[in-house]
């Protein structure tokens, strides 16, 4: 597996953790006063996001001619459901030769 495949895999996991944080843990904290969920899911999401950033940098260095694509991937990672856009674009990129 190359850098783009690794980035694609972690982007899905990181995106799901982001949705869990925003759609599950945050409502639990503010509606039901249970902040523990945010601590746990937030820490997990933070770790996954750091791994995503490291793999993103690796993919950018591996495919330096595709900076526009990887710029969009970086921006999309900051949005809920952005990982769906990232997955589609990275699936196309993974099929391209290096």
What is the token pair recorded at 72?
A: 């969009």
CA distance 8 to 17: 14
What is the token pair recorded at 61?
A: 């260095």
The answer to whether residue 35 sits within a structural domain is yes
pLDDT in tens, 48-97: 999 999 999 998 888 877 788 888 888 998 999 999 988 988 888 888 77
Structural domain boundaries, residue 30: 3-92
The answer to whether residue 97 sits within a structural domain is no
**Whether the model pTM is above 0.85:** yes
CA distance 40 to 12: 19
The answer to whether residue 98 sits within a structural domain is no
The answer to whether residue 81 sits within a structural domain is yes
């Amino acid at each position: 597996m190359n850098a783009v495949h690794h980035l694609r895999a972690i982007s899905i996991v990181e995106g799901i953790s982001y949705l869990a944080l925003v759609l599950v843990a945050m409502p639990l904290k503010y509606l039901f006063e249970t902040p523990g969920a945010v601590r746990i899911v937030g820490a997990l999401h933070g770790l996954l996001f750091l791994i995503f950033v490291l793999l993103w940098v690796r993919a950018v260095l591996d495919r330096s001619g595709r900076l526009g694509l990887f710029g969009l991937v970086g921006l999309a990672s900051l949005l809920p459901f952005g990982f769906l856009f990232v997955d589609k674009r990275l699936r196309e990129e993974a099929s391209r030769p290096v």
